[in-house]
Structure 1
Amino acid sequence: MKTLDALYSAGPEKRLNGAAKSAYSAWELLASLVRTGSRRVLEKIQIRELACHSARVRPGSLYFCLPGRKVDGHSYAREAAAAGAVAIVAERALPIGASGIPVIVVEDTREALALAAARFYGFPAEKINLIGVTGTNGKTTTTYYLQSIFQAAGLPAAVVGSNGARFNNWVLQLDHTTPPSLELQQCLAMLKEKGAGVVAMEVSSHALIQRRVAHCSFNSAVFTNITRDHLDYHGTMQDYFKAKALLIGLLKKEAGSGIILNADDPSYRRLVALAGAERLKVPYAIRSPFAPVRASDVSADQKGRCSFNLLGWHRPLQISLQLPGIFNVYNALAAAAVAWKEKLPAEAVREGLNGLEAVPGRLEEISIDTPAITVIIDYAHTPDSLRQVLLLLRKRAPRRLITVFGCPGERDRGKRPLMGRIAEELSDLVVLTADNPASERVEDIIGQIREGMRSNPVEIADRAEAVHYALSQARDGDLVLLAGKGAEEYQLVGTEMIPYNDRRTVEKFMASQRRPGTPPR
């Protein structure tokens, strides 16, 4: 698995793989946005790389000063100049000492970086079928269903999201659900170069507000559902909704682009109104009878895996999902609605939906040495997603349901007691622990989760120790849910990314319990 840090530490010929040209002038990249700066001067500045982190500046770089909630890139302009930047893009005039390099002033450096990155890499989004998937829950699984359907139709498809960028056997680990604009444009250019004709991409509300996906042209904008999340950042549900709806404005103008909407979600009518009459809209649903793409006769087996008739093609398609939960029926319908819009063959839709066996970190069952105990890892990190997962697992009638979870630091504090109450109501044993605490004390986060609970849960700040404790308490017939982190490969503690993974933690515990000479299952 490759990482972005590995790409940046590689030589320029690897780092700039996918760039449309070996060098651009500053004027070529920023002409329409420049507020101050002579055209003749800017035309002479040759840009070989773009950077928004001073530690990643190389000779020939154009450095963008990005404002942030904690760190302001303007404070690192001198370091960028010393590292070899040939110009600085800023939102105000900057004194950068005796370096003599020009400062290009623009109104919004995030917008400037997004435009420059798109131009630098040749606007890759315009050369692929780019599908944006947004919503509170279900984004990752929906992109995997999309990839599966398009591949079944013989169209090479990639995914970009919280599990990284993935195409065939190539994987690039990402630090964000939707990468910053520079990394995103590079990633899209690399995927196109590797042969991907379709990219299904998760689009977070942060990415939309922060202009990370500006100058990406989407063929489809898919909305899964909108429930509470990220109110620490957006403030209100109204502002959160407005952030999600920004994806509509990034659709390509030509015929064939369109919006895929969950007609059963409360956000549906507002999104339809925002989209306007001229936009193609494809609703999907289980309950709403007017949606052209619908599921009927939904049934579930003991593990919650759903079968249904998929309506919208010339005959009903028999679908039997391998991923459990009614919420995965909705995720499958969202992907099917894109296929319906794209006029993909019915057989490809059926094969793609039925053929997806698993999504890393989404209701992922971990094989352990004790078959009578079930261990499941899931990314559930909102009140709604935690409730849905626990209700699903309750239907499997375990002897006991043991839930291990925490809440991220520096994020929506209001959801913490809500998730505590949900976990307590639907679990037999709750173990509160760390998620990604960032700069908050784990004990403080746990205390706020506990405010929503009537009884005292088990509290173990160290997540690995909490997982070990839960597994040690499990007996035959029990089900252990490790919620919140999914397939993440790190834990954010302070400002450091500490290597951590729930699956490996389970495997390490099982290895420690295994008798010498006993092979794993």
Structure 2
Amino acid sequence: MIATWRAESQLRGIPPSFRHWQQRCHDLGIPPVIVVTGSRGKSTIVRLLQAIFDEARIQSAIWTDFGVEINGRRQRGEIAGWNRAMARLTESSLDIAIQELDWNLVAAVGLPTATYPIGIITNLCANHAGCLDTPEGQIASRAIPRVSRAVHQSGALCLNGEDYTLHPAASFTAAHLSIAARSVLSPMLRQNDFTGSPNFWIDDNDDIVCGSDQHHQTICSIKDIPLSFSGSATFEVMNVLLATAAALSTGIGIDLVARTLQSFDLSTDELPGSFNVATNGSIRTVIDRIMPSWFLKPVLRAANPQASRRQITVVGGLQTVPGDDIYDVGRLLGRTHGAVICFGDVPEATLAQFKRGISSNEYPPVLVQLPTERRAINRAMQAIRAHDVVLFLTHNDPGPAVRAVARMRGR
């Protein structure tokens, strides 16, 4: 049975039930599809929403970087699979779909206006001024107005209220805004407080709260959500807030959303290379992807809080880091004692800047350069000792790191 809001607990801007929201979409002539875009966190939010709808026994389809799934079953061919999902939405044998879109695709192809009932923009630059000057930042800047206009005026656009580079997105949309932030004092959240649309934040008791300053309701404690690592993984906290905002915007009940968040476990099989954390005795392993410094900083804080443990970092794809940022990436990775093992064909100028960043720290780790990922992983495995953190920052394929961690846990 699909959970719904009880009338006495209903907040402004929230549909009374999922079926009511679904019927409203049909009346407006728009398919019940949630679009998710941003620089990072998209696939995690899609999986969170999928888990919530599964818990509510709602028939759903998703489209991520890993392909199309209908009710959890992978489809052959992305375009054919998505067309199949859209056809089933039309004939009402499927209830909802969630579509992940990349900045490049949106900027190149565009989106039809007023097509989606709910849109989510996860982040752009994490408030780093230099990000907007990168090719990726410029592409994202062109895509944001298209995403904003693609959300129907009767729909909801869920925004990361802590990334101020997303502020223009609010001015390009006629939809209702739901702002997510870790603090109720967020300027974007405060500006949206009197619009009648619900906001989402973390209160002083570490509880997720939705509504407005005058009328709000507690969902659950962020510390009870495994994905957030007791709130230390701030980027996952934002993913949780945005997924919650979208789910409640479809009329799903608070209790069901809270229950799903508290039991949600993102497996490595579902999202390999997306902050996959595992423990083997006292050793912690983390697998993620190489990224600019503005996204790397919170990942490092969550992987090794206060840099209190010895850390071995295996990093590839340094040549993909923006040239002006490679020094800062090295500086961040050099803050922990241990070793940094880089691999691949890295241009000399890039490697020199990376080394300068590492050595700028008072007590920098040992830097090892190896030609292949296999040799880098083997060197890391040989150097591990009790209580270490082993961080893999992969480039194209996280598979080798995933298999190395699996072998280590199987010993």
Q: Corresponding residue for 1:315?
A: 217
Q: Where do 1:447-458 residues align within 5 Å?
A: 447-454=352-359, 457-458=367-368
**RMSD of aligned Cα (Å):** 3.4
- 3-state SS of paired residue (1:481): strand
Note the alpha carbon deviations across 1:51-72, whole angstroms, 9 max, x for none.
Answer: xxxxxxxxxxxxxxxxxxxxxx
Q: CA deviation at 1:205?
A: 1.3
Distance, in Å, in 1 between the alignment partners of 2:133 and 2:33 is 27
Q: Corresponding residue for 2:140?
A: 240
Q: Corresponding residue for 2:67?
A: 164
1:288 partnered with 2:184: yes
Q: Corresponding residue for 1:5?
A: none
Q: Corresponding residue for 2:247?
A: 339
Distance, in Å, in 2 between the alignment partners of 1:338 and 1:457 is 44
Change in Cα spacing, 1:378 to 1:238, as seen in structure 2 (3 Å) is closer
Larger proportion of helix = 2
Structure 2: gaps (5+ residues): 1-28
- 3-state SS of paired residue (2:120): strand
Distance, in Å, in 2 between the alignment partners of 1:229 and 1:139 is 22
Change in Cα spacing, 1:199 to 1:229, as seen in structure 2 (3 Å) is farther
Q: Corresponding residue for 2:8?
A: none
Q: Corresponding residue for 1:365?
A: 277
Q: Corresponding residue for 1:203?
A: 101
Note the alpha carbon deviations across 1:127-168, whole angstroms, 9 max, x for none.
Answer: 742212222222221222222222233322333223433444
8 Å contact 1:229–1:412 — kept in the other structure?
A: no
Of the candidates 393, 397, 403, which is equivalent to residue 504 of structure 1?
A: 403
Note the alpha carbon deviations across 1:365-413, whole angstroms, 9 max, x for none.
Answer: 3465xx2222121235231222111111222865312221123656633
Q: Corresponding residue for 2:167?
A: 269
Change in Cα spacing, 1:428 to 1:157, as seen in structure 2 (3 Å) is farther
Among the aligned pairs, what percent are the same residue?
20
TM-score, normalised to structure 1, is: 0.59
Residues paired across the two proteins, number: 348
Change in Cα spacing, 1:379 to 1:200, as seen in structure 2 (3 Å) is farther
Higher Cα radius of gyration: 1
- 3-state SS of paired residue (1:476): coil
1:351 partnered with 2:259: yes
Q: CA deviation at 1:474?
A: 0.9
Distance, in Å, in 2 between the alignment partners of 1:296 and 1:411 is 32
Q: Corresponding residue for 2:284?
A: 374
Note the alpha carbon deviations across 1:341-361, whole angstroms, 9 max, x for none.
Answer: 222211222123222111533
Q: Where do 1:403-414 residues align within 5 Å?
A: 403-407=313-317, 409=319, 412-414=322-324
Q: Corresponding residue for 1:137?
A: 40
Q: CA deviation at 1:206?
A: 0.7
Q: CA deviation at 1:271?
A: 1.9
Structure 1: gaps (5+ residues): 1-125, 174-182, 300-306, 435-440, 492-499, 512-519
Distance, in Å, in 1 between the alignment partners of 2:339 and 2:327 is 16
- 3-state SS of paired residue (1:399): coil
Distance, in Å, in 2 between the alignment partners of 1:392 and 1:427 is 16
Residue type at the aligned position of 2:148: I
Q: CA deviation at 1:231?
A: 6.9
Distance, in Å, in 1 between the alignment partners of 2:334 and 2:404 is 24
212-221 or 412-421: bigger deviation: 212-221
TM-score, normalised to structure 2, is: 0.73
- 3-state SS of paired residue (1:316): strand
8 Å contact 1:390–1:426 — kept in the other structure?
A: no
